[in-house]
Amino acid sequence: MKVLGISGSPRARGNTARLLAEVLRGVSDAGGEVSAASLSEYTIAGCVGCERCRLDKTCTRFNDGMTMLYPRIVEADALVLGSPVYHYNVTSQMKAFIDRLYAFYDFTDERPRGYSSRLAGRKRKAMVFAVGEQADPADLGVALEALSLPLRPLGYEVVAELPVLNCFEPGIVGTKKEVLEQAYRCGRDLAAALSGA
């Protein structure tokens, strides 16, 4: 089982990256093969709705970071998406990544158009988490939904959602043993879901 983790933080070594590493450690300890990508290291253009991907079966409008990530997404049995909360939502980097997953859809010609996903059919799984500064879960806004809802029609079963609160200073999550344990358990749960255990 191959699991790809995506950090949507513009900080390469912040709280999101630390939590992602802990989730992936849980997967790895359960026997999974893991890899990670930090969107801070990629330039990803936002989808412009040109619809070329409907014919080309991939995004051909841009040759950017997604061009490198598409094969890794196809190969992975599961995705882990994590993002800090920016103004009640995911970061612009994560939003661009999610929007560019549109290239995996096939559409019918009638109206309203039916659709299917070329990622479906492999019983893919996903886990998502959002990292917020405030103590009130409401201040996470729509971040968790923005991460999980687009994955479902693409063919993923989201097996865990982790809200993380009270984390603003870079790296502070490393001092929060309970949160790190939760992230690790989410990784183990993801691995179990993949193996059918």
pLDDT (0 to 100) of residue 112: 84
Beta carbons of 111 and 7 less than 8 angstroms apart: no
Beta bridge partners of 36: 5
Beta carbons of 108 and 51 less than 8 angstroms apart: no
Closest CA to 82 of 171, 123, 21, 173: 21
Tell me how far apart the alpha carbons of residues 135 and 140 are, in angstroms, rounded to a whole number: 9
CATH placement of domain 2-195: 3.40.50.360
Tell me how far apart the alpha carbons of residues 134 and 113 are, in angstroms, rounded to a whole number: 41
Tell me how far apart the alpha carbons of residues 181 and 192 are, in angstroms, rounded to a whole number: 16
Q: Which residues of the chain have pLDDT under 70?
A: 197
Closest CA to 7 of 37, 33, 27, 28: 37
User: Within 10 A of 60 (CB to CB), how many other CB atoms are there?
Assistant: 13
pLDDT (0 to 100) of residue 197: 60
